Structure 1
Amino acid sequence: MSARQRGTLCVFLAAVLYSIGGLCIKLIPWSGMSINGARTAIALVVIGLYLKATNHKPKMNLWVLVGALAVCGTNILFSIANKLTTAGNAIVLQFTAPIFVILFSVLFFGKRPQKLDLAACGLVLGGVLLFFIDSLSAGGMLGNILALLSGISYAGVFLMNDMPDSDPISSVFWGDVISAVVGLPFLGYETEFSGNTLIALVVLGVFQVAVAYILMVEGLKTTPPVTASLVSGIEPVLNPILVAVFYHEMIGPIALVGAMIVVGSVVLYNVILARQTSPTETGGPL
């Protein structure tokens, strides 16, 4: 297996692990802040061991901090959104991240959008609109807004590798530090500490946060961003399926149409972009 194939496999496995987040968060009867504080505290132990094993000392500079804030924002917003809207809504709205990558590339890196970029943005925004129409009766408007904001911060996670003087694994480490410090005080308000709750929490911290982020960081070293974004499309598909099977929470009919538009648009965008990219190039803005 070549280095690029191993990298792509790492990205795929990371996306699979990310997808269990919706189900585990639903199974824990805590607030989103409590869950995120506890799971990132657990993740810090695993990431710390990984850094020690690889002799990698966490760095800190402006761009590492920007990446850390993106990681922290993604963690917190997604956890809270999962408690306020359906897991399907939360993950699909977060999957708008590639579109914000395009917008940030224009605003901060001076890259002019192509017609394909603009068409993808229009389709995704149309799909997102359907989520908010569906939430008017479902009562999940705030959750949908927070999920959409998590998509914005998630775009920053994808851009960590392109930031000058960046160190993605250090950003992940410090992002989890901030998440744990902010979230752990909320544990004082929780009263339910059953075995199932603690098991779900450990699964979140060890696999859905720590191992998944480590795999993603390692995978992006050799995987072009376009390929990584396409492979990550398994997450918004698998996440609501797991929740529907084990938690019996179904996505609304109008939001389901929106989900198909959002996921389909992003995947189609990446397929077309990958075909336009020569084998020697590392990929587009995603």
Structure 2
Amino acid sequence: MLVSEHPVATARRPATGLWSLVLAGVLWGTGGPTGSLLAHETGLSPLAVAAYRLGAGGALLLVSLGLTRRPLPRGRHAWVRMIVNGLLAAVFQACFFGAVSLTNVSLATLLTIGASPALVLSAEWITGRRRVSPRMLATVALAIGGLALLVGTPSGGLTAASVLAGAGLALLSAAGFATMTFIGTRPVTGLDDLAATGVSFAIGTAVLAPAATMTAGMAFVPTPASVGLLLLLGTAPTAVAYALYFRGLHTTPASTAALIALLEPLVATLLATLFLGDRLGPTGLIGAGLITTAIVLNSRGARISRRLPRRRPAAGGRTRRSAR
């Protein structure tokens, strides 16, 4: 006789995954201000900062794996997933910072983070993983509208060519993040989250570092401030945040995870307002409220859908339709 799993245990795993995604989004929000301070302190280019971010995060994870004597993943499927995630991380980071250099942070953030939930939701609908309800569409629209109000109107002085090129790179960045989110909901047997993230970031660094070296260079004068900022950037918003994000994807729909990622620009804006002297006007406050509302509604909807009872087959293991 088969014994069903305890309902408290089954409900705890999705709830833990949801909170892992929330914490990842909050930690991601510290990455923007930390990366900006690192660039200001060292004079590094955005591409070099991205390479150092992945390199430091991957190195910290691999060192922790060595200290705990946890083996690296084995098997073809595990290495294929790590290689794909490493390439996607490199594309996501490089295209985003490229979009920032061609336009500005506001427009790049709006297109990258705003397009990701729509791309993930479209992929889920096409593959049949999730039924797109009017509630879900309204939640995505509410979140994107809130993001548009939060980042504000891009400043003038941008040419049409730079805007188009920057928008293209931002959409490529969104596609990279959306793909990483979509495939992350299908776990690979024996693939540890920390090991997968560490190896993937090492692969991403191997792709970004040569590109940064051939363009603006990666050399800087190490000081206590710059080294501290680099370690902070590699730890909280990179190593810890991405490990939590990949763990949360195991029990949470991809579109829900992509919406929770909107916590990144929300937290980054709040930190910039508190510590970097930026001002958040009434429009930005409304946008922050809309993003928060969309995340709460989407999270509640995900928990309710998981608690709904599934249809069970009739006695004998067959339904009426299958018995015909």
- Normalising by the smaller structure, the TM-score range is 0.7 to 0.9
Query: Is contact 1:85-1:144 (8 Å) kept?
Result: no
Shift in Å at residue 130 of structure 1?
Answer: 6.5
| Alignment partner, residue 85 of structure 1 | 104
Paired residues of 1:25 and 1:79 also in contact (CA < 8 A): no
Instruction: Tell me the equivalent position of 1:26.
Output: 36
1:242-277 Cα deviation digits (max 9, x unpaired): 122222345687677666555544543443444344
Pairing 1:138-157 to 2, within 5 Å after superposition: 139=158, 141=163, 146-157=169-180
* Gapped regions of structure 1 (runs ≥ 5): 282-286
Residue 203 (structure 1) aligned with residue 228 (structure 2): no
- Pairing partner for 1:240 from 266, 269, 272: 269
Structure 2 counterpart of 1:154, one-letter code? F
Letter in 2 for 1:275: I
Larger radius of gyration: 2
CA distance in 2, matches of 1:82, 1:248: 20
Q: Is the 8 A contact 2:96 2:173 kept in 1?
A: yes
Q: Give the C-alpha shift of residue 25 in structure 1.
A: 1.4
CA contact (8 A) 2:95 2:169 kept: yes
SS of the aligned residue for 1:28 comes to helix
The change in CA–CA distance for 1:92 and 1:280 in structure 2 (over 3 A counts) is: farther
2:84, 2:230 → 1: CA distance?
Answer: 27
Report what 1:275 is aligned to. 304
Give 1:103's match in structure 2, choosing from 122, 127, 146.
122
In the TM superposition, residue 204 of structure 1 has moved relative to its aligned partner by: 1.0
Displacement of 1:6 in angstroms is: 4.9
Q: Structure 1: how far apart are the matches of 2:246 and 2:50?
A: 20
Which of 85, 94, 99 is residue 76 of structure 1 equivalent to? 94
CA–CA distance in structure 1, aligned partners of residues 231 and 25 of structure 2: 18
Q: Cα distance 1:132–1:235, how it changes in 2: closer, same or farther (>3 A)?
A: closer
Given that residues 85 and 180 in structure 2 are in contact (C-alpha distance below 8 angstroms), is that contact kept between their aligned partners in structure 1? yes
Residues 1:80 and 1:131: Cα distance change in structure 2 (over 3 Å):
farther
Q: Which amino acid aligns with 1:37?
A: A
Per-residue displacement from partner, 1:27-57 (whole Å, max 9, x unpaired)? 1222121011112112222222344433242
1:187-266, aligned counterparts within 5 Å?
187=213, 189-190=217-218, 192-193=220-221, 195=223, 196-221=225-250, 234-250=263-279, 261=290, 264-266=293-295
Contact 1:41 1:176 in 2 (8 A): yes
Residue 37 of structure 1 corresponds to: 51
Alpha carbons of structure 1 residues 115 and 10: separation in structure 2 relative to 1, 3 Å: closer
1:162 corresponding residue in structure 2: 185
**In the TM superposition, what whole-angstrom CA distance separates every residue of 1:216-264 from its partner, at most 9, and x where no partner exists?**
3334445676875676554332111112222234568767766655554
Give the AA of the match of 1:161: G
Bigger mean CA offset, 251-260 vs 70-79: 251-260
Residues 48, 215 of structure 1: alpha-carbon distance in 2 compared, 3 angstrom cutoff: same
What is the TM-score of this pair, normalised by structure 1? 0.73
Q: Which amino acid letter does the alignment assign opposite residue 179 of structure 2?
A: G
Question: Is 2:204 aligned against 1:179?
Answer: yes
Between the aligned partners of 2:229 and 2:82, the Cα distance in structure 1 is 30
Residue in structure 2 matched with residue 116 of structure 1 by the alignment: 135
Question: Aligned partners of 2:151, 2:275: CA distance in 1, in Å?
Answer: 25
Q: Distance in 2 between matches of 1:102 and 1:43?
A: 29
What amino acid is aligned across from residue 46 of structure 1 in structure 2? L
Q: Which is further off, 108-117 or 241-250?
A: 108-117
C-alpha displacement of 1:205: 1.3
Distance, in Å, in 2 between the alignment partners of 1:131 and 1:269 is 19
Identity %: 22
Measure how far apart 1:278 and its partner are: 1.8
Describe the shift of the 1:102–1:10 C-alpha distance in structure 2 as closer, same or farther (beyond 3 A).
Answer: closer
Aligned to 2:202, the other structure's residue is in SS state helix
Instruction: Render the CA deviation track for 1:108-145: whole Å, top value 9, x for unaligned.
Output: 44654222233344445556677898226274946666
Instruction: For residue 21 of structure 1, report the CA deviation from its aligned partner.
Output: 0.5
- Equivalent pairs, count: 281
> Aligned-pair RMSD on alpha carbons?
4.1
**Cα distance change, pair 199–155 in 1 and its aligned pair in 2 (3 A):** same
1:161–1:168: 8 Å Cα contact kept in structure 2?
A: no
